[in-house]
Structure 1
Amino acid sequence: MPARDVYHDIVKNALIKDGWKITHDPLRIRLARGKNLFVDLGAERLLAAERGSEKIAVEIKSFTSPSDMNDLEKAVGQFVLYAHLLKRYYPDHILYLAVSEDTRKRVFEEEAGQTMIEDNIICLVTFDPIEEAIVKWIQ
């Protein structure tokens, strides 16, 4: 099992406060030949009775290395890999990349990060690490 991100419990608590039920911690993607990948969290939230439930998977990234662009490259690569595998193994889940609101402003308001959002490469959920609260959902 992979190491947890420094914000793991903060994001988990923020999702719970936002009305989500954590269903997987982590969400395991079992591949052929005994290989496994782990998305940090799986969650669901009940919608209106006629619509059922909404399911998400959340990959948490702290962006703490000296290079935001290096962190972005790694995060986007991992996100794309997980998103494609989730379509196959958990087609009812939407994948989100969870970053702090500060990281969104620092990285995803710049051209490289903004392009990932505008071109629908990633979905983003931002959080306030002090308040342990969800700030914004960006699809």
Structure 2
Amino acid sequence: MPAKDIFHDCVKNALIKEGWTITEDPLSLKIGKKDLFVDLAAEKLLIAEKQNRRIAVEIKSFIGTSEVEDLKNALGQYILYEKIIKRQSLGRVLYLAIRDAIYRKLFMEEIGQILLEENTVRLIVFDPEKEVIIQWIG
């Protein structure tokens, strides 16, 4: 089992506060002989649509020596997981969960904007101190 991100419980609590049910912690993906793990899987009943919304969430702290290196690594992992989830027809939408400070540093700048403009990544932006989700993007 992989180590949990330092903000794992924070994001989990924020999702629960918004009415999400955590269904897997972590979500196991098997591709060939490789086992991979997405941090969380969750569901939420959408009353108006009478169906469940299903998501997978990869949480990244961005506490390495370079935020750009952390972004490249997170993006590579995100794309790999997204492709596996799609191939396995899991019916989940993948999100990358990041702190509001990282969103402001990277995604409000040109480097992050090109990822958002091209719909390359979906984000959950959270406040780690209040354990709340600030915004969903994508």
- Work out the percentage of aligned pairs sharing the same amino acid: 50
Q: Please, which runs of 5 or more residues in structure 2 have no aligned partner?
A: none
Secondary structure of the structure 2 residue equivalent to 1:28? strand
Q: Deviations over 1:72-107 (max 9, x none)?
A: 100100000000001022441000000011110011
Aligned residues: 138
Q: For residue 116 of structure 1, what is the aligned residue in structure 2?
A: 115
Q: Distance in 2 between matches of 1:136 and 1:49?
A: 21
Q: For residue 15 of structure 1, what is the aligned residue in structure 2?
A: 15
Which amino acid is 2:58 matched to?
A: E
Q: Please, which runs of 5 or more residues in structure 1 have no aligned partner?
A: none
- The CA deviation at 1:70 is 0.3
- The CA deviation at 1:51 is 3.1
Q: For residue 75 of structure 1, what is the aligned residue in structure 2?
A: 74
Q: For residue 107 of structure 1, what is the aligned residue in structure 2?
A: 106
2:51 maps to 1:52: yes
Question: TM-score if structure 1 supplies the norm length?
Answer: 0.95
2:42 maps to 1:38: no
- Aligned-residue Cα RMSD (Å) equals 1.1
Which amino acid is 2:11 matched to?
A: V
Q: For residue 26 of structure 1, what is the aligned residue in structure 2?
A: 26
Q: Deviations over 1:95-124 (max 9, x none)?
A: 000001111001111111111111011000
Q: How does 1:126-137 map to 2 (within 5 A)?
A: 126-137=125-136
Which amino acid is 2:22 matched to?
A: I
Q: Deviations over 1:45-88 (max 9, x none)?
A: 00126431000000000001121110110010000000000102
Q: Distance in 1 between matches of 2:50 and 2:81?
A: 26
